[in-house]
Amino acid sequence: MYRVIGGKINFEVSRLQGLRRFYCNVGGPEVSASNSYIHSNGNKGENKSESEIQQYDVAIVGGGMVGMALACSLASSALTRKLSVAIIDDNPALTSGGWINKEEPPDPRVSTITPASISFLESIGAWKYVEQQRHAYFDKMQVWDYTGLGYTRYNARDVNKEVLGCVVENKVLQSSLSLCIQEKDFRKTVLPSRLASMALQSSMSSNKMDSQLAKLELADGSNVVAKLVVGADGGRSRVRELAGFRSSGRKYPQNAVICTVEHSLPNYCAWQRFLPAGPIALLPIGENFSNIVWTMSPKEASDCKAMTEDDFVKAVNHALDYGFGPHPQSTSSIDKIFSSFKSDSVSSNESFEVPPKAIKLATERMVFPLSLVHTDTYAKTRVALIGDAAHTVHPLAGQGVNLGFGDASVLSKVISEGTAVGIDIGQLSLLRKYEAERKPANFMMATILDGVQKAYSFDLGPFNALRAAAFHGAQYISPLKKNIILYASGEQKLPFFSWS
């Protein structure tokens, strides 16, 4: 990030000037209004005077966790905190948000925050609010499957870290980001409405680097213009639709059942077992609570939601214990082969453990369909997509919101760089720098998660043996285990490329 201070050395000035020439020359002319790829849904509000139209540097459509993280990040940088930012979302929590009452029941919707995302949230000033509310760090994780042929234990000390991650309720993350933005000296406006249409229109100022700005018409009839529109409005993104972004993907033949259960004692480990219909995860969220994310067929999900609470708790404990198959045994022939590898990982000597029993249901059960979606591009002139608006992935590794936080971090950095050299922050050549950094990383993660999902869609002898070998390899081969942990934690950009 460039720092604007008095007395810059000549080298720094030359570098920034060179960067400005690069952005201004590479992008070519901007798209004209007549050829706009953004479409309006009518002429409502066309005759509003300029004084009635609010103008901003950045309009963030979607005030969820990723959109708010971007706003906080922009507010945290000396280069971007003077930008005017509109946050467009009709969620009442954005204007009334505050501390979560600890006496309230847990939110069944949670996120597993990686160390890389924790660092980002610390840097923008939001994590301190998370730590004052309900959350749960975990330093151990166990993964196994229903065949009983193998398991893998992970420990933060395998990579000389204190934690593998932290599980946080979504409402706590949302509250923390709202508290963070409230403390910032920042030109922000929350517009409690929804996006109705978008178009390019002529700028009100003749001295702009580009004569076209994005015009947004909101559902309440108000109009906004902005240099840059950021679509942070989730998997059914209105920005993505109106801007004409193409995407590819597929619906998984699975739904996720999520809820919170209570134990008799606190849980400090993350657990995941692969079952014939999909994985079940038991994630600590603080106090004596754990979150359940159970992937299964839509029919099974419907049946699970219709069960009595007692029957559902029994089904959860059955699925995490002897249900569908035996516990892994360390005396198997394949275990003896892999255990011959010399390993310096702490967790390589850890035995299989049975997860703690759930004693009762603490929240309602919610069911969500699962899908894989990835847009062909992340940016167009005046528009960028972040988070689920650009990509959705299978939840089996809890990476969804972390990918979104990565998007927010990089886009904020790119906007800062553009501001530092005085170029238009909605210019496509600048936004492509964001896309170039994030699209390959997100595509790689989505591909890996999709591959794992497919690998566990077959219950055949050869596939079971290959999966068992993978479990044992990750358990006993230290470099492999370390690379898995570092990649999953967001601290390594590419998987399995370091053998140290």
* CATH number for the domain harbouring residue 149: 3.50.50.60
Domain membership of residue 11 (yes or no) is no
Q: What pLDDT shows up at residue 5?
A: 36
Domain membership of residue 28 (yes or no) is no
Q: How many residues does the chain have?
A: 500
Q: What pLDDT shows up at residue 35?
A: 36
Q: What pLDDT shows up at residue 344?
A: 73
Token pair 């390959």 is at which residue? 440
State both tokens at 107: 């939110």
Asked if 265 contacts 255 with a C-beta cutoff of 8 angstroms, the reply is no
Q: What pLDDT shows up at residue 491?
A: 86
Q: What pLDDT shows up at residue 38?
A: 46
Domain membership of residue 308 (yes or no) is yes
d(Cα 59, Cα 213) in Å, to the nearest integer?
Answer: 11
For residue 316, the enclosing domain spans: 54-202+209-489
d(Cα 479, Cα 277) in Å, to the nearest integer?
Answer: 31
Domain membership of residue 422 (yes or no) is yes
Q: What pLDDT shows up at residue 103?
A: 80
- Taking residue 496's Cβ as centre, other Cβ atoms within 10 Å add up to 13
Residue type, 112: T
Domain membership of residue 235 (yes or no) is yes
Domain membership of residue 40 (yes or no) is no
Q: What pLDDT shows up at residue 2?
A: 35
**How many structural domains is the chain composed of?**
1
The maximal CA–CA distance of the chain, rounded, in angstroms, is: 79
From the first residue on, what is the mean pLDDT of each consecutive set of 10 residues in the chain (500 residues)?
A: 38 43 40 41 46 88 97 96 96 79 88 97 97 95 93 95 96 95 91 94 50 90 96 97 95 96 96 95 95 97 97 98 88 62 77 95 96 96 97 92 98 97 95 97 94 83 82 89 93 63
Asked if 81 contacts 184 with a C-beta cutoff of 8 angstroms, the reply is yes
Domain membership of residue 37 (yes or no) is no
Strand residue runs (E) in 246-334 = 247-262, 269-275, 278-286, 289-296
Domain membership of residue 15 (yes or no) is no
pTM metric for this prediction: 0.87
Q: What pLDDT shows up at residue 458?
A: 75
